[in-house]
Amino acid sequence: DAGVTQSPTHLIKTRGQHVTLRCSPISGHKSVSWYQQVLGQGPQFIFQYYEKEERGRGNFPDRFSARQFPNYSSELNVNALLLGDSALYLCASSLEGNPEAFFGQGTRLTVV
Amino acid sequence: RKEVEQDPGPFNVPEGATVAFNCTYSNSASQSFFWYRQDCRKEPKLLMSVYSSGNEDGRFTAQLNRASQYISLLIRDSKLSDSATYLCVVNTYTGRRALTFGSGTRLQVQP
């Protein structure tokens, strides 16, 4: 069975640009969450989606947005990129009612 | 104060050693607890869930003390392949299932 898949794996963007990151959850998982991990820190929660509805948002500016599609895949969008947005962006999927989360390999975003 | 606190390490131990990691969490309403393992530049992988009764999986033992808001992970007979960062993770359900991660404790097992 395929695990959580994310694309792209690496990305280099310039300050001010926008970026779209994609995630496909494990088959049967309807909940998708996004996390940002900067070097030396643990992942920080950005968003959670379930059945296409936003269930939660972390302490991130409005430049960050996300959505979930009918097939439960998800996109994370970041506008007006800043140098500080450089990080590993992780997508996790889980079964509703089960807090155990399974992560994709992440997208490493570098803003220059 | 961070919601989940861990000693960042690094812990440098010889093969075969026993090593213990500790973690404290600040939200007494937290409901679920986990240890994740993260290899360098890879995604976190679930190592084990942590229960109040304690649980063991091979060489790994996890304990939870709700009264002290303290979680531990014990690794016995360390292997070179155990070298990684160990993340203490807490779930506090407030209408969303967001995991709160500690900064991780780095373990380096040496031959």
Please give the average per-residue pLDDT across A79-105, as a whole number.
94
Shortest CB distance from A56 goes to which of B4, B98, B101? B98
pLDDT of residue A2: 79
Q: Which residue has the higher pLDDT, B53 or A62?
A: A62
Question: B-chain residues within 8 Å CB-CB of A49?
Answer: none
Please give the average per-residue pLDDT across B42-53, as a whole number.
92
Contacts of B10 (CB under 8 A, 6+ apart): B106, B107, B108
CA A4 to chain centre: 11
Q: Which residue is closest to A56 within chain B, CA to CA?
A: B96
Q: Which residue is closest to A10 within chain B, CA to CA?
A: B41
Whether the per-residue pLDDT at B15 is higher than 80: the answer is yes
d(CA B50, CA B55): 7
3-class SS of residue B76:
coil
The B4-6 sheet, strands edge to edge: B4-6, B19-25, B70-75, B60-65, B55-57
Reported confidence tier of residue B96, pLDDT bands at 50, 70, 90: low
Please give the average per-residue pLDDT across A16-26, as a whole number.
98
3-class SS of residue A38:
coil
Please give the torsion angle defined by the CA atoms of residues A38, B8, B46 and B77, in that order, rounded to the nearest 10 degrees: 150
Per the prediction, chain B carries an average pLDDT of 92
Whether the per-residue pLDDT at A71 is higher than 90: the answer is yes
d(CA A17, CA A99): 34
Please give the average per-residue pLDDT across B31-51, as a whole number.
94
Q: Verify whether the Cβ–Cβ distance A104 to B43 is below 8 Å.
A: yes
